[in-house]
Structures are given as C-alpha cells and as structure tokens.
C-alpha cells in the first residue's frame, strides 16, 4: 500500500530532495500545546529562524488562562512573521492606561475589564496568511481567504476573499458566488484523505465544470 500523501502525525511534513525533513516548516497541531490555542490538522507554519515555542511565536500575548482563544482551521498556510494578537491588558476606561494591577494584584478590583470575557479569534479552513500579516483580537477570517503580506487585519474577513493593506481591505473575491457556494458545500477539508487526494487535480485547476462533476460524484 502506498504511503499517504499527507501525514498529520508529522511535526515536520515537508521532506527535501535528500529525504530530510525541512525543520523550519511545522504542522502547528504537532508543535503547539497551549490551552487557549486550537489548530486543525495539516495547517503549517514556516519560519526563517529556529523556534523554541511556536505558541509564543505566533500569538505572543495570548497567555494560558486568558479570557480569549485562538482557533485555526485545517489546511491553513501561515508564513514567517504572521502574528495573532490577543486583546491588550492595558486599561482603557480610566484616565491612565498604565496597568498598575499587573504589578500589585490587590488593585485588580479596580480593573474588572481586564478579566472580562473577550471574543475569540477564528481562522477558517484553507486560509493563506502571507508573510508578516497581523491579525487583531477577535477577528474572524472565513474559509479560503487570502491575507496579503504585511496586512493588518482589524475586521472580519469574508470567505474566499483577498485582503491586503493597512488597515486590511478586501480587494476582491476569489470566485463568483456560485463557485463559492459549491466550495462551501464541498467542504473538501472535511473529506477523508483518499478523497482529498483524488480531488487535487480539480482543486489545483480552477476548473468549474470539474468542480461540479466532483460534487456530483461525492454527493451521489
């Protein structure tokens, strides 16, 4: 039996021509153990430098037990320098933003907003985040979205859209509405691996007729 074309158990899934793993590319689900971060299978991250703590690298302000979570879907592609920011721990309701309670916990009663529930950051499936993109707290990014290098994403991103710039702005949708609906129904990232492999010629082609045929075959 041939080896699977993808292996979710591998920390380093990319093998070079010499048969050695590319250690700068990691599947985050195998590299992160953090109570506030969940990552789907086959989502990978690439860094140009050695990384000791991938959770701290991609979400440096998200501490265990924080009142918010980061959820990343399956088959996402995350480039060097991408950061997911957690909500700041600086008080904004009073006259000073200095976090006195961080240094004297007896003052925490004066800062209830610092421990109040906060919205999670949600990244869909098959999302590509380009180098140096920054995702602000509580943002939702839909399935199949592309985030350009250096973009600062401060608001929710629609599925199948391309966003770039600072602040991030939608440039266009990747596909028209009927194709988006087909892809939403197909949800290929949830299929068994052997079916995903069989779909690769269609997924790589952008062939709408092929996509429609694949949908009929899989749903028949």
pLDDT at position 158: 98
Indicate the DSSP class of residue 175: S
Q: What is the mean pLDDT of the chain?
A: 93
Task: Examine the domain organization and report whether 146 and 199 are in the same domain.
Answer: no
pLDDT tens column, 34-83:
999 999 999 999 999 999 999 999 999 999 988 899 999 999 999 999 99
Which member of 34, 90, 110, 125 is catalytic?
90
In-domain check, residue 164: yes
Which is nearest to 131 in space by CA: 205, 199, 183, 81?
81
Q: Could you confirm whether 90 is annotated as catalytic? A: yes
C-alpha–C-alpha distance, residues 136 and 46, integer Å: 20
Domain of 201, in residue numbers: 175-220
Q: Is the peptide bond before 167 cis (omega within 30 degrees of 0)?
A: yes
Task: Examine the domain organization and report whether 155 and 94 are in the same domain.
Answer: yes
Domain count, the chain: 2
């Amino acid at each position: 039996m041939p080896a699977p074309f993808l292996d979710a158990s591998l920390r380093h899934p990319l093998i070079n021509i010499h048969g050695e793993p590319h250690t700068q590319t990691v599947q985050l689900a195998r590299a992160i153990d953090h109570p506030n971060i969940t990552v789907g299978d086959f989502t990978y991250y690439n860094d140009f430098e050695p990384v000791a703590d991938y959770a701290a690298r991609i979400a440096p302000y998200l501490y265990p037990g924080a009142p918010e979570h980061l959820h990343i879907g399956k088959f996402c592609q995350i480039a060097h320098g991408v950061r997911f920011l957690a909500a700041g721990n600086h008080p904004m309701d009073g006259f000073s933003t200095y976090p006195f309670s961080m240094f004297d916990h007896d003052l925490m009663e004066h800062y209830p907003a610092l421990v109040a529930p906060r919205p999670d950051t949600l990244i869909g499936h098959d999302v590509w985040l380009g180098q140096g993109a920054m995702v602000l707290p509580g943002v939702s990014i839909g399935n199949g979205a592309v985030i350009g290098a250096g973009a600062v994403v401060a608001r929710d991103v629609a599925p199948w859209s391309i966003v770039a710039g600072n602040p991030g702005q939608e440039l266009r949708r990747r596909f028209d509405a009927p194709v988006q609906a087909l892809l939403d129904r197909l949800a290929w990232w949830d299929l068994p691996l052997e079916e995903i492999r069989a779909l690769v010629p269609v997924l790589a082609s952008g062939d709408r007729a092929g996509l429609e045929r694949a949908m009929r075959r899989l749903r028949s």
